Chain A
């Protein structure tokens, strides 16, 4: 195999990895603040993917233009889910939260199955088969746009947490729950906002991902697992860690698919996870002692 194939696959893997990173960012934000592990994360992403597919077939809007409205819808979904269902569970044991979100995931998957049927659905854009060429390096246009869009959304989220009052308040809840209550923050509202933001993140990731991958109702759980692998690799609760973990896993999957077989690629992601848990349980960028 010529050497540039490795480079091309690696670049494709990194770009896909950025989208994975954006998806995992949502999970990481939710865990970092609300301390609830969202076992319905991938399932929420498939909702966004279906919304994108429906909007595309109805209006032929470019998926990248639909990113903001779909993220907004997912924000509302996440807010309602946290405010209505999850908030009473934030002080309950992990297995109880787990069961709750498994039930939510089960409902999402099967409602999608009833509404859209079992067949895979995707989006064909005018640039689906375009590519950019830099010397010997060839990059798929969809993957390039997807990776860029993921970076932009992630940057917006970083800025929100760093520079806005609301973002600072949310970080206060994450750092010290009781302290946040003492200074008069409406923690339940902020938790719901955070879950909404996490949902918006994974929604945006879904809209971008649908450029690369077709969606089926049962697609979600694989991505839920992938998001876990990524955030633990990067550091649960760390935002840069989620992006970095996404890059690493995207790259690993792409290279494993090329060098071994595509069906074995998830073995390599899980192997990375096991190694990280062994030697650096707090993750690459994690600070909290596990």
Chain B
């Protein structure tokens, strides 16, 4: 079977049509969307992409990471510091940033999986390492510590793709390509041997080991792939926002933001992280606008409503929005 044939094997026509419509809509969106909508869409794609990366660990291999901000931060800081100090562009910086994050992931995985640290313990370990990095970067002079690392900015007439200096629309298409690649890549992973081993580990690790699966090895692969993918988003983050503060980048609320999307969308599904990013970012923006229209200017009001919405979604749809929506629309994701 051809590569493409394998990828769409067993996918219903309806799902393919849905994917096609989504792809076309996202491709032409910047032509229609104004500046504001474009920023929102960039945010959605950013979270969809990282959500997909996080989903490899949690959704596929069953390892709950609550510290993915670590990999975003390492990617962002590595690429930004190389650019600021040595003028090395982001794509070359990526060659350093990705291995750095992959090493960090491998370190956490090695510590945890060798000593059979799992479940809640693993989750807390990931938080701890991320917090460690936050305080560490606060005191690291090479990245300007807590006073923040800034990338030089000016008005751009054109888009310099090589140096990632340009207008938001460039970042939009980069993130769109990354999200699409991640989607296809995850589909391919799920269909591969590794994907089946991951799901075996997720469902019952002891049983997986007893059938001869080297669980340590495959969990390590999951954390390294997930960390590497996440660090790419970090590089984009650095060059999109142009400023990095440890207090923000490595903060636990960043890690939480990353995982809300896939959980709300549907853990372990391919559409979940994308749908979750749309639902949550959309919800946040709608709340912003509604509260502004009502003239409510209370700090915290938006987050209260957001929290209440989260509460209701997780209570009503414990498996996430996508599995429910797929059933309602008569689509079912065979790869789940």
Contact = CB atoms under 8 A, between A and B. Distances in A.
Interface in A74-130: 85, 88, 92-96, 98-100, 102-104, 106-107, 109-111, 113-114, 118
A182 interface: no
Given A98-B64, A106-B310, A110-B304, A37 B120 contact: yes
Contacts of A99: 259-260, 263-264, 310, 314
A111 B260 CA distance: 21
Contacts of B112: 277
B125 A94 contact: no
B301 A114 contact: yes
Nearest to B251: A221
Nearest to B119: A94
A277 B307 contact: no
Contacts of B301: 110, 114
A274 B129 contact: yes
Nearest to B267: A95
Contact of B115 (A88, A236, A281): A281
Contacts of B119: 94
A98 B299 contact: no
B298 A114 contact: yes
Contact of A100 (B136, B253, B314): B314
Contacts of A93: 267
Interface string B97-131: 00000000000000110011111110111011101
Contact of B135 (A96, A98, A100, A264): A264
Contact of A221 (B121, B129, B252, B267): B252
A106 B310 CA distance: 10
Question: Which residue, of B139, B263, B300, has the highest number of chain A Cβ atoms within 10 A?
Answer: B300
Nearest to A88: B315
B256 interface: yes
Given A103-B307, A114-B300, A281 B116 contact: yes
Interface residues of B, number: 46
B318 A96 contact: yes
Contacts of B111: 274, 277-278
Contacts of A34: none
B263 A113 contact: no
Contacts of B136: 267
A225 interface: yes
A96 B263 contact: yes
A48 B303 CA distance: 21
Given A99-B314, A102-B256, A110-B300, A94 B127 contact: no
B132 interface: yes
Contact of A277 (B121, B308, B311): B121
B263 A95 contact: yes
Contact of A113 (B259, B299, B310): B299
B333 interface: no
Nearest to B122: A277
Interface in B297-331: 298-301, 303-304, 306-308, 310-311, 314-315, 318
A228 interface: yes
Contacts of B138: 263-264
Nearest to B108: A274
A190 B118 CA distance: 28
Contacts of A110: 300-301, 303-304, 307
A229 interface: yes
Contact of B252 (A37, A225, A267): A225
Interface in B126-148: 127-129, 131-132, 135-136, 138-139
B94 interface: no
Interface in A155-170: none
A8 interface: no
Contact of B304 (A107, A267, A270): A107
B53 interface: no
A114 B299 contact: yes
A232 B115 CA distance: 15
A159 to B, nearest CB: 28
Contacts of B256: 102
Question: Which residue, of B120, B131, B139, B306, has the highest number of chain A Cβ atoms within 10 A?
Answer: B120
A261 B139 CA distance: 10
Contacts of B69: none
A277 B127 contact: no
Contacts of B123: 94, 98
Question: Which residue, of B117, B127, B128, B315, has the highest number of chain A Cβ atoms within 10 A?
Answer: B128
B66 interface: yes
Name the 10 nearest CB pairs between A and B, nearest first.
A110-B300, A113-B300, A106-B307, A107-B307, A103-B310, A110-B303, A103-B311, A270-B128, A267-B135, A110-B304
22 contacts: A37-B120, A95-B259, A96-B318, A99-B263, A99-B264, A99-B314, A100-B311, A103-B308, A107-B304, A107-B308, A107-B311, A114-B298, A225-B131, A225-B252, A228-B124, A236-B121, A266-B131, A270-B132, A274-B125, A278-B111, A281-B117, A290-B117
Given A88-B315, A111-B300, A274-B132, 12 more contacts: A94-B123, A95-B64, A99-B263, A99-B314, A114-B304, A228-B124, A232-B121, A232-B124, A263-B135, A263-B139, A264-B135, A277-B121
